[in-house]
Amino acid sequence: MTAPTKNKKLLAWVAEVEKMCTPDRVVWCEGTKSEYDRLMNQMVESGSAVRLNEKLRPNSFAFNSDPSDVARVEDRTYIASRTKEEAGPTNNWIDPVELKKTMRALYTGCMKGRTMYVIPFSMGPIGSPIAKIGIEITDSPYVVCNMHIMTRVSKKVLQVLGDDGEFIPCLHSVGAPLEPGQKDVPWPCAPIEKKYIAHFPEKNLIWSFGSGYGGNALLGKKCLALRIASNMARNEGWMAEHMLILRMINPEGRKYHIAAAFPSACGKTNLAMLQSTIPGWKVETIGDDIAWMKIRPDGRLHAINPEYGFFGVAPGTSKASNPMALASCSKNSIFTNCVVTSEGDIWWEDIGCECRSGTDWKGQPFHSGMKDKDGRAVKGAHPNARFTAPASQCPVICPDWEDPEGVPIDIFIFGGRRTTTVPLVHEALSWEHGVFMGATAASEPTAAALDVKQHLRFDPFAMKPFCGYNAADYFAHWFKMGARMDDKAPRIFYVNWFRKNKDGKWLWPGFGENSRVLKWMCERVDGRVEARETPVGLMPKDGDLDLKGLNISPDDYAELMKVDAGLYRNMLSDIADYLKEFGDRLPSQMTHQLEALRKRLD
Ligand code: O2Y
Ligand code: MN
> Which string of DSSP letters, residue by residue, matches 343-395?
TS-EE-TTSSS--SSEE-TTS-EE-TT-B-TTSPBPPSS-TT-EEEEEGGG-T
Q: What is the pLDDT of residue 265?
A: 79
Distance from the CA of 249 to the center of ligand 1, in angstroms? Answer: 29
By CB atoms closer than 10 A (0-12, 13-18, 19+), residue 175 is buried
Closest ligand 1 atom to 310 CA? 8
For the chain, which domains are there? 8-49+73-237 (3.40.449.10), 241-306+401-601 (3.90.228.20), 310-393 (2.170.8.10)
Q: Is 241 helix (H, G, I), strand (E, B) or coil?
A: strand
Closest ligand 1 atom to 216 CA? 3
Q: What is the pLDDT of residue 448?
A: 52
| Four-CA torsion 255, 261, 267, 273, nearest 10 degrees | 30
Closest ligand 1 atom to 242 CA? 14
pLDDT digits (tens, 9 = 90+) for 408-428: 999 999 999 999 999 999 999
CA angle 327, 333, 338 (to 5 degrees): 90
User: Across the chain, which distance is largest between two alpha carbons, in Å?
Assistant: 74
Q: What is the pLDDT of residue 202?
A: 98
In sequence order, the 6+-apart residues with CB closer than 8 A to the CB of 34 are: none
Q: What is the pLDDT of residue 531?
A: 98
Nearest CA to ligand 1 atom 14: 264
DSSP 434-452: HHHHHHT-EEPPPGGG--S
Helical axes 141-150 vs 33-46, angle rounded to 10°: 140
Nearest CA to ligand 1 atom 12: 264
Q: What is the pLDDT of residue 567?
A: 94
Q: How many CA atoms lie within 13 A of 29 on its CB side?
A: 33
Q: What is the pLDDT of residue 266?
A: 87
Nearest CA to ligand 1 atom 13: 264
Q: What is the pLDDT of residue 451?
A: 46
Closest ligand 1 atom to 269 CA? 9
Instruction: Find the residues whose C-beta lies inside 6 A of ligand 1.
Output: 71-72, 213-215, 264, 289, 311, 384
Catalytic residue (one of 223, 266, 329, 394): 266
* 304 close to 30: Cβ distance less than 8 angstroms: no
* 169 close to 12: Cβ distance less than 8 angstroms: no
Q: What is the pLDDT of residue 447?
A: 60
* 582 close to 467: Cβ distance less than 8 angstroms: no
Cα dist from 588 to 45, 432, 461, 476, 582, whole Å: 60, 11, 18, 9, 11
Distance from the CA of 264 to the center of ligand 2, in angstroms? Answer: 7
Q: What is the pLDDT of residue 450?
A: 44
Closest residue by Cα to residue 209 from 225, 188, 224, 182: 188
Q: What is the pLDDT of residue 264?
A: 82
What residues sit around ligand 2, an ion, with C-beta below 5 angstroms?
289
Which ligand is nearest the CA of 215, by number? 1
Q: Is 266 an annotated catalytic residue?
A: yes
Distance from the CA of 393 to the center of ligand 2, in angstroms? Answer: 20
Distance from the CA of 221 to the center of ligand 1, in angstroms? Answer: 9
Distance from the CA of 46 to the center of ligand 1, in angstroms? Answer: 27
Nearest CA to ligand 1 atom 8: 311
Q: Is 37 helix (H, G, I), strand (E, B) or coil?
A: helix
* Positions in the chain whose pLDDT score sits under 50: 449-452
Distance CA 255, CA 14 (A): 45
Q: What is the pLDDT of residue 445?
A: 82
> Probe ligand 1: pick from 213, 244, 264, max atoms within 8 Å of CB?
264
Closest residue by Cα to residue 288 from 165, 388, 169: 388
